[in-house]
């Protein structure tokens, strides 16, 4: 679609408080925050498309959620698999969801002193945390625009790790920073066309990803609480959904400080109190 003339930017997203029969695609639903969000949305009446690589975990989840949900196993970094998934919506085999939530993510602590040995993991994180999110969003957006539905849109789960560089987060933090910037760009282009675009930035959530951290994580929360915070965020109409706010607000302020002050502070957060 050729770009049209600039349109007015709305002052927020559509508010979604009623999930009854709303079709939602969760990419990254097999574990952690995505699995908890699947339970939270299904309990509110949403009809889910559950995606991730682990087909058997998705099947177990769909069974646990009850009827009305389907699984669509795929590797988000595989363009051909994404094309095949979208073909199933285009053919009408599956109804197009009105809201897509990208949760797929990978994290491994990496340190610049590892040099080239860090490259395989760095490439993996950049691919799934950022490049695949772009690939997925740019396939989903035109389909949502062509199928108008109330309060439809795209939500991207980034991280507060994208607010600033952090120790041991050599690829993770830049990939999430890029995803936040990408969500901002999507919002500016798509919100005037009537689509919602959400950037979801969790603090520390207790999942297999954070189980690798060897420091005490401030304000660590269970995935179920993260899912409830996301549901509340969708009802708020805000572009950014961040939580827990007692932690994320402090990080936002700290990220605005001069580097001479902020860098020692962030190093302290991620290195304090070894367990
Ligand atoms: N936990 C935290 O503290 C925290 C904080 C901020 C942001 N986040 C972000 O929140 C999201 C969910 O993280 P989590 O902590 O819930 O981690 P998790 O438990 O490891 O869940 C990650 C999900 O992403 C899926 N996934 C990973 N690679 C994939 C790929 N190539 N293709 C398709 N699906 C893929 C995984 O399923 P399969 O393995 O089955 O593919 C799983 O369902 C991530 O984007 C993460 O960066 C987490």
Mean pLDDT per 10-residue section of the chain, whose length is 275 residues: 72 96 98 98 98 98 97 98 98 97 97 96 98 98 95 98 94 98 98 97 97 92 98 98 97 95 87 56
Task: Tell me how far apart the alpha carbons of residues 118 and 116 are, in angstroms, rounded to a whole number.
Answer: 5
pLDDT of residue 6: 66
Residue to substitute in 29, 84, 105, 240 for testing ligand 1 pocket (most ligand atoms within 8 angstroms of CB): 105
Check if 28 has its Cβ closer than 6 Å to any atom of ligand 1: yes
Question: Helices 32-43 and 223-236 meet at what angle, rounded to 10?
Answer: 60
pLDDT of residue 247: 95
CA 109 from centroid of its chain's CA atoms: 19
Residue to substitute in 103, 163, 183 for testing ligand 1 pocket (most ligand atoms within 8 angstroms of CB): 103
CATH 3.40.50.1110 fits 23-271, yes or no: no
Q: Is residue 6 classed exposed, middle or buried when 0-12, 13-18 and 19+ CB atoms within 10 A define those classes? A: exposed
CA 232 from centroid of its chain's CA atoms: 15
pLDDT of residue 44: 98
Peptide bond preceding 4 in cis form (omega within 30 of 0): no
The answer to whether 132 touches 52, Cβ cutoff 8 Å, is no
Distance 258 CA to ligand 1 centre (A): 32
Check if 204 has its Cβ closer than 6 Å to any atom of ligand 1: yes
pLDDT of residue 3: 64
């Amino acid at each position: 679609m050729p770009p049209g003339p600039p349109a007015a930017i709305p002052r927020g997203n559509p508010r979604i408080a009623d999930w009854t029969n709303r079709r939602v695609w969760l990419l990254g639903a097999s574990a952690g925050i995505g699995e908890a969000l699947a339970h939270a949305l299904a309990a509110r009446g949403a009809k889910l498309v559950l995606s991730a690589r682990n087909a058997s975990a998705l099947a177990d989840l769909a069974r646990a959620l009850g009827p009305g949900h389907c699984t669509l196993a795929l590797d988000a970094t595989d363009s051909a698999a994404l094309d095949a998934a979208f073909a199933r919506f285009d053919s009408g085999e599956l109804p197009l969801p009105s809201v897509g939530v990208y949760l797929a993510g990978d994290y491994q602590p990496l340190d610049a002193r590892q040099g080239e040995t860090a490259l395989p993991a760095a490439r993996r994180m950049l691919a799934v945390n950022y490049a695949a999110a772009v690939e997925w969003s740019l396939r989903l957006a035109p389909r949502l625009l062509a199928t108008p539905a109330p309060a439809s849109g795209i939500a991207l789960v980034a991280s507060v790790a994208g607010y600033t560089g952090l120790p041991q987060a050599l690829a993770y933090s830049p990939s999430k920073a890029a995803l936040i910037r990408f969500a901002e760009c999507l919002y500016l282009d798509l919100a005037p066309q009537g689509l919602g675009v959400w950037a979801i930035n969790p603090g520390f959530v207790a999942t297999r990803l954070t189980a690798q951290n060897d420091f005490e994580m401030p304000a660590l929360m269970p995935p179920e609480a993260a899912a409830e915070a996301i549901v509340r965020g969708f009802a708020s109409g805000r572009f950014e959904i961040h939580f827990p706010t007692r932690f994320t607000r402090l990080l936002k302020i700290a990220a605005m400080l001069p580097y001479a002050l902020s860098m020692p502070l962030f190093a302290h957060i991620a290195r304090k109190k070894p367990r």
